């Protein structure tokens, strides 16, 4: 009981320090007053302060992409504007229109857009745990298991931060050794120094270091008993993602290497036909349901299907933001109820029938599930490797790489199609550029509305996209995000800038 109270107090202490510090990353206090004493204590602290559960973060990111469209303000039964939809429309206006001042006001930051502060709070939790490892009792194996998990989590958070608030590593005209990333804070020690932004290359180097060490420690010391804890397979998977995001030709071999490590241990994809009932209806369990889906490697985060500030509960007409027509158009819906084609169209979105039919938002987890659609799935690993092989095919012309890419794509697609009565027909693409384009589309079909995948892909591929915005009064505005836009590096929230005068804002 005494130690439980101590841990509770320690958690509260560091949470408060993270939230209210004006001069430093941590508020200066007396760190020797209360400390964890055992590895069990540190595990409790890690689970509460380092793992990303129940954090409403990144709820806004899909609005930046072409996977979401604007519908204006929903209507009541009599045709009048529905006032319950007005706030959701207004909340998303600046983000949807890529306004450089999108994070300059307090209200917007309360709706899950202050990812900067949330991720640094979690990084602080990782650092606190790591800094206390040498001070607690426990076996080397227990300590290494904790260290491996916290290194994985810190690498995950820094990868997320650098992909949100910086230009892409291999972007056109971007020198990662000069272009600004985010501050690297690797200790919970209190100092009087204001952190400055490291370069993109420095941040990626730290992510690489953390994840490689995490993979080694976790493989030797920790086997997760649940998908809500990260093991070495999760670290391998995140390394394959990181190298894909770096995007240079020489990185493609590393993508393949770490994808191979994952798939050598786990390769079974979820068969979406298993989600169909005898009546041909799709279960709402979702691909992230760990009881039904064997491909989930690691899952985290609050459930995004619950109504939030941008995607409210459904009413009589379409809410302000829904799944875009352009995303819907790239699925094969099949020909009949006995052949529903690409089952992702039926499974990956929530649907609403009221004065019309529309796809509301993600259906990758049941709306009553406790956790959400952030994390890592085997499908991503197959797609990472397929894209790397396609890139190698473009670079070398070696047809072996084309065959490898097609093998990964067809393996994934065969698990997604309705094969009850109709056999899956493999795709066969010989043109290198067409194959790469197919990889891009397949990645969008599979990874839409989760983990910020589409936004990062838009940036690293240098895509230009357009939005058609409908205001509350019915007026419309067409806006375009050009290739290489300054907004590729999202503005750092004003709250962080105000706390640290050395924190340079992104050009905008």
- For 376-387, write each residue's pLDDT tens digit: 999 999 999 999
Longest dimension (CA), the chain: 68
- pLDDT value of residue 30: 44
- pLDDT value of residue 6: 40
Whether the per-residue pLDDT at 65 is higher than 90: the answer is yes
403: nearest Cα among 385, 417, 419, 418: 385
- pLDDT value of residue 369: 86
With residue 107 as reference, give the H or E element that holds it. Answer: helix 106-108
- pLDDT value of residue 225: 95
In a domain, 304, yes or no: yes
65: nearest Cα among 440, 428, 338, 444: 444
pTM of the model: 0.93
In a domain, 502, yes or no: no
In a domain, 423, yes or no: yes
Sign of CA dihedral 319, 321, 323, 329: positive
Output 6 or 159, whichever has higher pLDDT: 159
Contacts of 2 (CB under 8 A, 6+ apart): none
- For 422-456, write each residue's pLDDT tens digit: 999 999 999 999 999 999 999 999 999 999 999 99
The DSSP result for 173-241, as a single string, is T--TTTSB-----------SPPP-PPBHHHHHHHHHHHHHHHHHHHHHH---SSTTS--HHHHHHHHHH
- pLDDT value of residue 243: 98
In a domain, 313, yes or no: yes
Domain that holds residue 440: 223-463
- The count of domains in the chain is 1
Query: How many C-beta neighbours within 10 Å does residue 441 have?
Result: 12
482: nearest Cα among 459, 502, 501: 459
In a domain, 496, yes or no: no
**Residues 272 and 293 sit within 8 Å (Cβ to Cβ):** no
- pLDDT value of residue 371: 84
CA dist., res. 478 & res. 472, Å (int) = 15
- pLDDT value of residue 5: 37
Mean pLDDT of the chain: 90
Highest mean pLDDT among 17-31, 40-54, 207-221: 207-221
- pLDDT value of residue 373: 87
How sure is the predictor about 9, in pLDDT bands with cuts at 50, 70 and 90? very low
Read off the DSSP letter of residue 321. Answer: E
What's the CATH code of the domain at 358? 1.25.40.390
In a domain, 322, yes or no: yes
- For 454-507, write each residue's pLDDT tens digit: 999 999 999 999 999 999 999 999 999 999 999 999 999 999 999 999 999 999
Whether the per-residue pLDDT at 86 is higher than 70: the answer is yes
Contacts of 473 (CB under 8 A, 6+ apart): none
Which tokens sit at 313? 């509960």
In a domain, 239, yes or no: yes
- For 123-156, write each residue's pLDDT tens digit: 999 999 999 999 999 999 999 999 999 999 999 9
In a domain, 144, yes or no: no
The DSSP result for 8-56, as a single string, is HHHHHHHHHHHHH-SSSSS----TTSS---BHHHHHHHHHHHTS-TT--
């Amino acid at each position: 009981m005494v130690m439980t109270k101590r841990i509770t107090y320690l958690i509260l202490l560091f949470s408060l320090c993270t939230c209210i510090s004006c001069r430093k990353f941590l508020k200066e206090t007396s760190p020797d007053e209360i400390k964890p004493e055992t590895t069990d204590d540190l595990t409790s602290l890690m689970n509460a302060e380092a793992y990303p559960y129940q954090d409403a973060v990144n709820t806004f990111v899909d609005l930046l992409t072409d996977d979401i469209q604007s519908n204006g303000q929903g209507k009541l039964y009599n045709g009048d504007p529905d006032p319950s939809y007005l706030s959701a429309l207004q909340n998303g206006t600046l983000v949807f229109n890529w306004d450089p001042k999108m994070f300059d006001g307090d209200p917007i930051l309360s709706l899950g857009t202050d990812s900067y502060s949330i991720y640094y709070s979690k990084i602080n939790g990782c650092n606190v745990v790591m800094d206390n490892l040498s001070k607690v009792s426990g076996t080397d194996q227990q300590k290494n298991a904790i260290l491996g998990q916290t290194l994985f989590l810190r690498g995950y958070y820094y990868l997320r931060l650098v992909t949100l608030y910086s230009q892409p590593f291999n972007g056109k005209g971007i020198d990662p050794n000069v272009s600004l990333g985010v501050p690297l804070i690797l200790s919970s020690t209190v100092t009087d120094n204001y952190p400055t932004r490291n370069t993109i290359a420095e941040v990626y180097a730290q992510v690489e270091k953390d994840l490689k060490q995490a993979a080694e420690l976790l493989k030797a010391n920790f086997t997760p008993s649940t998908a809500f804890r990260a093991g070495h397979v999760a670290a391998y998977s995140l390394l394959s993602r990181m190298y894909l995001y770096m995007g240079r030709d020489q990185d493609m071999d590393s993508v393949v290497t770490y994808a191979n490590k994952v798939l050598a241990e786990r390769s079974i994809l979820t068969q979406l036909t298993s989600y169909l009932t005898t009546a041909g209806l799709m279960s709402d369990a979702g691909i992230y349901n760990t009881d039904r889906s064997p491909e989930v490697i690691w899952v985290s985060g609050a459930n995004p299907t619950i109504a939030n500030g941008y995607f409210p509960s459904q009413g009589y007409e379409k809410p302000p933001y829904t799944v875009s027509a352009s995303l819907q158009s790239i699925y094969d819906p099949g020909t009949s109820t006995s052949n529903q084609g690409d089952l992702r169209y039926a499974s990956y979105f929530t649907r609403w029938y009221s004065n019309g039919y529309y796809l509301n938002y993600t259906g990758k987890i049941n709306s009553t599930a406790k956790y959400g659609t952030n994390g890592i799935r085997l499908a991503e690993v197959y797609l990472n490797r397929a894209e790397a092989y396609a890139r190698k095919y473009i670079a070398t012309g070696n047809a072996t790489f084309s065959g490898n890419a097609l093998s990964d794509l067809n393996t994934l697609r065969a698990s997604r199609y309705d094969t009850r009565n109709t056999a899956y027909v493999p795709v066969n693409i010989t043109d290198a550029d067409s194959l790469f384009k197919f990889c891009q589309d397949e990645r969008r079909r599979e990874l839409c509305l989760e983990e910020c995948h589409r936004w990062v892909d838009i940036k690293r591929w240098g895509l230009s996209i357009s939005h058609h915005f409908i205001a509350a009064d019915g007026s419309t505005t067409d806006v375009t995000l050009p290739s290489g836009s300054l907004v590729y590096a999202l503005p750092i929230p004003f709250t962080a800038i105000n706390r640290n005068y050395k924190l340079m804002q992104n050009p905008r």
